[in-house]
A and B are shown apart, each in its own frame.
Chain A
Amino acid sequence: DTAVSQTPKYLVTQMGNDKSIKCEQNLGHDTMYWYKQDSKKFLKIMFSYNNKELIINETVPNRFSPKSPDKAHLNLHINSLELGDSAVYFCASSQEWGADEQYFGPGTRLTVT
């Protein structure tokens, strides 16, 4: 009974392709996040949605476009993939906006060749 789930778990693709990662949480939380973890394990926030509304949009290339169809889902679409996009992408959720306890999904390991 996974709280925050992501698909796919692994994604290997070539430069220039477009891909999507999906996230779902069954915790009833209002807020969801996308993080990127690089090879040095630095975890950096990319986007945050609260009640389907975009709240945080860090300095991320506009090739990355999040979409929240409802409170329980947050997807990430990436256009024209580049080698530097290779990383692990984590989805997370928190009960409400401003609640600092965040719960993470298992991650999607993206490799761009």
Chain B
Amino acid sequence: QKEVEQDPGPLSVPEGAIVSLNCTYSNSAFQYFMWYRQYSRKGPELLMYTYSSGNKEDGRFTAQVDKSSKYISLFIRDSQPSDSATYLCAMGGSSNTGKLIFGQGTTLQVKP
């Protein structure tokens, strides 16, 4: 079993839809949870960063962490064609190892 599981998709939605992206994980030591967005042939860019359980909102994006279920989500409201990208979840531990474990990434296409 991988430490971080993420459905690779692809996920195709119409413009304006609410998108839900999810990851599950097995290592309860993870304390930091991130979402990266990666456009085709580009490097991953940090989108959201959360620490421990709870919600964090930034514009159309909401990151949610449920440590009890070992489940994190990224919601995108009013999705736009420019949101079409691969979204990678990433997690870091509490031991300051500096090592991030990434999910496989979910490819999202938002159709106009």
B106 and chain A: residue at smallest CB distance:
A41
Q: In the complex, are the beta carbons of B98 and A106 less than 8 A apart?
A: no
Interface class of chain B by DSSP: strand
Q: In the complex, are the beta carbons of A42 and B104 less than 8 A apart?
A: yes
Q: Which of A48, A55, A97, A102: most chain B CB closer than 10 A? A: A102
B32 and chain A: residue at smallest CB distance:
A100
Q: Is B69 an interface residue (CB 8 A)?
A: no
> What CA separation (Å) do A107 and B39 show in the bound complex?
12
Q: In the complex, are the beta carbons of B98 and A104 less than 8 A apart?
A: no
Minimum distance in angstroms from B2 CB to a CB of chain A:
9
Mask, A41-57, CB within 8 Å of B = 1, is: 11111001010000110
- CB-CB under 8 A for A107 and B8, given A48-B98, A100-B100, A101-B34: no
Q: Categorize the interface residue count of chain A.
A: 20 to 34
Q: In the complex, are the beta carbons of B43 and A107 less than 8 A apart?
A: yes
B88 and chain A: residue at smallest CB distance:
A43
Q: Is B60 an interface residue (CB 8 A)?
A: no
- CB-CB under 8 A for A90 and B43, given A98-B96, A98-B97, A101-B34: yes
Q: What are 20 A-B pairs with beta-carbon distances under 8 A?
A: A4-B43, A41-B88, A41-B107, A42-B105, A43-B102, A48-B98, A48-B99, A94-B98, A97-B96, A98-B96, A98-B97, A99-B98, A100-B92, A101-B49, A102-B46, A102-B100, A104-B44, A106-B43, A107-B42, A109-B41
